[in-house]
Structure 1
Amino acid sequence: MTTQTTTVRLAAGDTEVTVEPEQGCRIASLRVAGTELLLPGEGHGAFVMVPFCGRTDRGRFRSGAETYRLPRNEPPHAIHGFARDGRWRTVRADGRTAAFTWRLGEPWPWPGTVTQLVELAEDGSSLTLTLGVETASDSFPAQAGWHPWWRRNLGRGGSDVRVEFHPAWQEERGPDHLPTGRRIPPRPGPWDDCFGMPDGVDVTLTWPDELELSITSRAEWLVVYDEQEAAVCVEPQTGPPNGLNTHPRFVTPLEPLEISTTWAWRGLGAGDARGAG
């Protein structure tokens, strides 16, 4: 049965998830036992990045013999794709899981369909997101991923979040905020940087004595952005920034682009978020 609604709310155990399909199908809220984990507000929460992730150099990329130009929504570059600005359609919502679709087209040069599945575990201890990108006709390069804004502090008197991960390399970032193409040993933050994790993304966020959250994905690329005071962003994605030019992954009629990520959490000690009101 097809469902049309402006907001979709999912719940299981002591977890509540709010999805706003008409606001780019973003995860607007993730509350565990009453504690909000995502930074709220327009442009925050956790938004979808499709059909490209991060910055595309001056909004231009080549495919075959053609050069394509995209709107430069963060001059001088294009950034984060267009799905986050789209009005998605709710296909199904059953209380714990939901499915959404969005038509890919102008200003993107090719037509296609993007699907997002949002699945809350039966016990409310994890959330799995899955994106699929399909072409309606010709093959095209694309990227997909998520940009979640995790609250740096949960606002309950505890310490700020710690971010732990072990990448194989870091993409050197040039003065234009694009990878230079050189891989370097991982450096300490603060970051607005891309990392390679060929065995899959595996990141742990820890709010000491409150909550531990793991972010996993079979995707091999990760961007971490922690230069803002209120939040940190941990972004699994199918390619690096400017990847339409440097690491194109083609969506074909026989092979869609797919990516999944799972966020799983557990409370820590007396400050356990599952006991918060």
Structure 2
Amino acid sequence: MSSYLGFRVCNLIIPGEPQELSLTTPSGSWVLEKEPEYATSKQKIEEGQIAETYSLSIDVTIGSAGRSATLDAAFDELVPICLAASYLTTASVAVTRSLPHSECMIMEVGPHFPRPRAMRGIDAVTITSAEFQQRVEAFVGNHSSTGLVEKDRLLVHHWLDAQACWSMEDLCLSTATLLEIIAATARSEAKAAGQDLKTFNQRIQYASTRFSLPNLSDDFRNMRNDLVHEGRLSATKFPNKVELDCSTAAAEALEWIDQYMHAALGLGPVVKNRFPANTYRGLNAFSLH
């Protein structure tokens, strides 16, 4: 016996734009299928609007746990699917409404989902639909274990806030929050291993060593300290910097965060650097002058 769940999804543009894509998760096989008005919706998204692009559905086989528990387990996968898709594509991907005949109806999307908003601009971190598929499946599969230890929900929501920034200062503070979350996780992991990491720098270094990542440059931390303590992106610790210097420091930090999140959440290697040095050039930076 099986039950059908189906929902419409907004803002999702999958690399390669497949007509249909299956995602294998602990609950079974979710199917993403283009909405009939996909081309129109894509154009609206590119023009800065929110639009539905795919449907997402699954026929859930009712297991020994019973119908209610089986459906609840499948429904609970919607949040990590949306979080993974949002993170990978740099868009705010969310469920908007239920499809006809779905046995679970959504009256209002809850706060755990990414908030639907127009925010495209940064490239996806995957190049092909197969890479996207593999990483969404890994994110969902790891969510109940590694994902919770690494605070994947918190990381992705703050990561989306960073990409939806309205100024270099806003970007800097959101990115700094991501690093604080990572540092807190590193402190907990180090404590479990018998180490006491007293400083932020020690914790970030531990995170780098833990996953064999390159060291994070001091530039972003110096820029963040200048902003927080002196009210400017460039002051005494990050002196005499211009817009491109700040853009480069932010891009380097976010590229490091991409590497960390891929490693910590078990997504596989980063296949594309979506944060070249000039990524945020032209972003308003009101404190530089």
Flag the structure with higher strand content.
1
TM category, shorter: under 0.3
Instruction: Give the TM-score, by structure 1 length.
Output: 0.21
Flag the structure with higher helix content.
2
